[in-house]
Amino acid sequence: MSAVIETKDLYKIYKDQASEVHAVDGVSLCILQGEFTAIVGPSGSGKTTLLNLIGGLDTPTSGSLFIEGEDISRLSPKELIDFRLHNIGFIFQSYNLIPVLTAKENVSFIMDMQGQKRKEADRRSLELLEAVGLGERTDSRPAKLSGGQQQRVAVARALASKPRFILADEPTANLDSKSAENLLDMMEKLNKQEQTTFLFSTHDPRIMAKARRIITLEDGRVVSDIVK
Amino acid sequence: MIRLSWRNIWRNHRRTVITIASVFFAVFLSILMMSFSNGSWGRMIENMLRTQTGHIQIHLKGYWDDQVTDNFMEMEEETITRLNGIEHVVNVSPRIETFAMASSDYNMSKGIAVVGIDPVKEDGKSSLSKRIVTGSYLGPADQGVLIGKALSEYLKVSVGDSLALIGQGYHGAGAVGLYPIRGIVSFITPEMDKGLLYMSLPAAQEFISMPDGYSGILIAIDDGKALEETLQKVSEAIDTSVYEVLSWKVTMKDLLKQAESDAAFSKIILVVLYLIVGFGILGTVIMMTTERRREFGMVVALGMRKGRLAGSVALELFFMTCIGLLAGLVVSIPIVLFFYYHPIPIGGELAVAMSAYGMEAVIPMEASPVLFVSQVLIVLLITSLTILYPVRVILKLEVNKALRS
Q: What is the pLDDT along chain B (405 residues), one digit of tens a residue?
A: 777 788 877 777 888 898 899 899 989 999 998 898 888 888 778 777 877 788 999 999 999 999 888 999 998 889 989 999 999 998 898 999 999 999 988 788 999 999 999 998 888 877 888 889 999 999 988 999 999 999 999 999 999 999 999 998 888 888 899 999 999 998 877 888 889 999 999 999 999 999 889 999 999 898 888 999 999 999 999 999 999 999 999 888 888 888 888 888 888 998 998 898 889 889 989 998 998 999 999 999 999 999 999 999 999 999 999 999 999 999 999 999 998 888 888 777 777 666 665 566 777 788 888 889 998 999 889 988 999 999 999 999 988 888 877
From CA B26, how far away is CA A113, in angstroms rounded?
37
pLDDT above 90 covers a percentage of chain A that reads 40
From CA B152, how far away is CA A32, in angstroms rounded?
113
Q: Helix-strand-coil percent breakdown of chain B, rounded to 5?
A: 60, 20, 20
Range of the domain at B379: 2-49+256-404
Report CB contact under 8 Å: A78, B4. no
List pLDDT tens digits, range A92-103.
Answer: 888 889 888 999
A81 → chain B, closest CA residue: B303
Report CB contact under 8 Å: B303, A101. no
φ and ψ at B131, to 5 degrees? -95, 5
From CA B332, how far away is CA B372, in angstroms rounded?
9
Give the orientation angle of helix B369-395 with respect to helix B306-341, to 10 degrees.
Answer: 160
B264 occurs within a structural domain: yes
Report CB contact under 8 Å: A113, B11. no
Q: Which amino acid, residue A35?
A: E
pLDDT at B358: 58
Would you say B361 and B253 are in contact if contact means Cβ atoms under 8 Å apart? no
CA–CA min distance B291, chain A (Å): 13
Read off the pLDDT band of A20 (50, 70, 90): confident
B56 occurs within a structural domain: no
B208 occurs within a structural domain: yes
pLDDT at A217: 92
B379 occurs within a structural domain: yes
**Per-residue b or e along A43-73, where b marks 16 or more CB atoms closer than 10 Å to that residue's CB:** eebbbbbbbbbbbbbbebeebebbbeeeebb
CA–CA min distance A168, chain B (Å): 13
Report CB contact under 8 Å: A84, B306. no
A111 → chain B, closest CA residue: B303
B29 occurs within a structural domain: yes
Residues in chain A within 8 Å Cβ distance of B299: 98
Q: Which residues of B touch A (CB under 8 A)?
A: 3-4, 7-8, 10-11, 294-295, 298-306, 308, 399-400, 403
From CA A56, how far away is CA A75, in angstroms rounded?
9
Beta bridge partners of A135: none
- DSSP E strand boundaries for B82-151: 89-103, 109-117, 132-135, 145-148
Report CB contact under 8 Å: A113, B295. no
Same domain for B312 and B217? no
Residues in chain B within 8 Å Cβ distance of A81: 300, 303-306
CA–CA min distance A228, chain B (Å): 31
Residue to mutate among A98, A102, A111, A122, with most B CBs inside 10 A, is A98
Q: List Cα–Cα distances, A133 to A41, A127, A153, A155, in angstroms.
A: 31, 10, 9, 11
Same domain for B301 and B391? yes
CA–CA min distance A225, chain B (Å): 26
The dihedral through the CA atoms of B50, B51, B52, B58 has a sign that is positive
Would you say B182 and B145 are in contact if contact means Cβ atoms under 8 Å apart? yes
Report CB contact under 8 Å: B298, A96. yes
Q: List Cα–Cα distances, A179 to A133, A173, A194, A197, in angstroms.
A: 12, 11, 22, 21
Q: List Cα–Cα distances, A143 to A96, A149, A210, B23, in angstroms.
A: 12, 10, 30, 30
Q: Of A27, A152, A56, A201, which Cα lies nearest the Cα of B398?
A: A56
Report CB contact under 8 Å: B302, A55. no
Residues in chain A within 8 Å Cβ distance of B10: 100
pLDDT at B356: 60
Q: Is A47 on the interface with B (CB under 8 A)?
A: no
The last residue of one of the domains, among B241, B271, B298, is B241
B57 occurs within a structural domain: no
Same domain for B225 and B355? no
**Mean predicted lDDT score pLDDT of chain A:** 89
Q: List Cα–Cα distances, A169 to A154, A174, A221, B134, B327, in angstroms.
A: 12, 11, 18, 100, 46
- For residue B189, count CB atoms less than 10 angstroms from its CB and return exposed for 0-12, middle for 13-18, buried for 19 or more: exposed
Report CB contact under 8 Å: A109, B302. yes
Read off the pLDDT band of A13 (50, 70, 90): very high
Residues in chain B within 8 Å Cβ distance of A58: 399-400
Same domain for B79 and B35? no
- Please give the helix or strand (H or E) that residue A224 lies within, else none: strand A221-227
Same domain for B121 and B167? yes
Q: How many CB atoms neighbour CB B392 within 10 A?
A: 12
Q: Shortest CB distance from A101 goes to which of B4, B308, B400?
A: B4
B396 → chain A, closest CA residue: A77
**Per-residue b or e along A147-175, where b marks 16 or more CB atoms closer than 10 Å to that residue's CB:** bbbbbbbbbbbbbbbebbbbbbbbbbebb
Same domain for B286 and B355? yes
From CA B102, how far away is CA B161, in angstroms rounded?
13
List pLDDT tens digits, range A148-204.
Answer: 899 889 988 988 888 889 999 888 887 788 888 888 888 888 888 878 899 999 988
Q: Is A95 on the interface with B (CB under 8 A)?
A: no
Beta bridge partners of B244: B59
**Per-residue b or e along B78-95, where b marks 16 or more CB atoms closer than 10 Å to that residue's CB:** ebbeebeebebbebbbbb
Would you say A202 and A218 are in contact if contact means Cβ atoms under 8 Å apart? no
Same domain for B228 and B95? yes
Same domain for B270 and B145? no
From CA B217, how far away is CA B56, in angstroms rounded?
8
pLDDT at B96: 93
Same domain for B130 and B96? yes
From CA B137, how far away is CA A109, in angstroms rounded?
86
B55 occurs within a structural domain: no
Residue A215 has pLDDT above 90, yes or no: yes
Given strand A165-169, what is the order of strands in its sheet?
A: A88-91, A165-169, A197-202, A36-40, A213-218, A221-227
The last residue of one of the domains, among B208, B241, B274, is B241
B251 occurs within a structural domain: no
Same domain for B163 and B68? yes
The last residue of one of the domains, among B193, B218, B241, is B241
pLDDT mean over A11-39: 90
Would you say B147 and B110 are in contact if contact means Cβ atoms under 8 Å apart? no
- Please give the helix or strand (H or E) that residue B251 lies within, else none: helix B248-251
From CA B352, how far away is CA B136, in angstroms rounded?
20
The dihedral through the CA atoms of B271, B276, B280, B285 has a sign that is positive
Report CB contact under 8 Å: B399, A57. yes
From CA B127, how far away is CA B352, in angstroms rounded?
13
Q: Is A102 on the interface with B (CB under 8 A)?
A: no
CA–CA min distance B25, chain A (Å): 28
Listed in sequence order, the DSSP H helices in chain A are 47-54, 77-87, 103-114, 118-131, 147-160, 177-194, 205-210
The dihedral through the CA atoms of B3, A119, A156, A39 has a sign that is negative
Report CB contact under 8 Å: B302, A84. yes
Report CB contact under 8 Å: B304, A113. yes
A87 → chain B, closest CA residue: B303
Beta bridge partners of A20: A15
Report CB contact under 8 Å: B400, A86. no
Report CB contact under 8 Å: A81, B300. yes
Task: For residue B49, give the DSSP letter.
Answer: I
Q: Shortest CB distance from A113 goes to which of B8, B295, B303?
A: B303
φ and ψ at A112, to 5 degrees? -60, -45
Measured CA angle at B33 (ends B28, B37), to 5 deg: 155
From CA A180, how far away is CA A172, in angstroms rounded?
5
Q: Taking chain A, what is the end-to-end CA distance rounded to the nearest angstrom?
A: 16
Q: List Cα–Cα distances, B73 to A137, A228, B78, B158, in angstroms.
A: 93, 115, 15, 33
pLDDT at B359: 63
Report CB contact under 8 Å: B302, A52. no
Same domain for B282 and B375? yes
Q: Shortest CB distance from A85 goes to which of B295, B303, B403?
A: B303
Q: Shortest CB distance from A90 goes to which of B10, B294, B302?
A: B302
Same domain for B218 and B136? yes
Number of domains composing chain B: 2
Q: Shortest CB distance from B400 goes to which of A52, A85, A101?
A: A52
Q: Is A120 on the interface with B (CB under 8 A)?
A: no
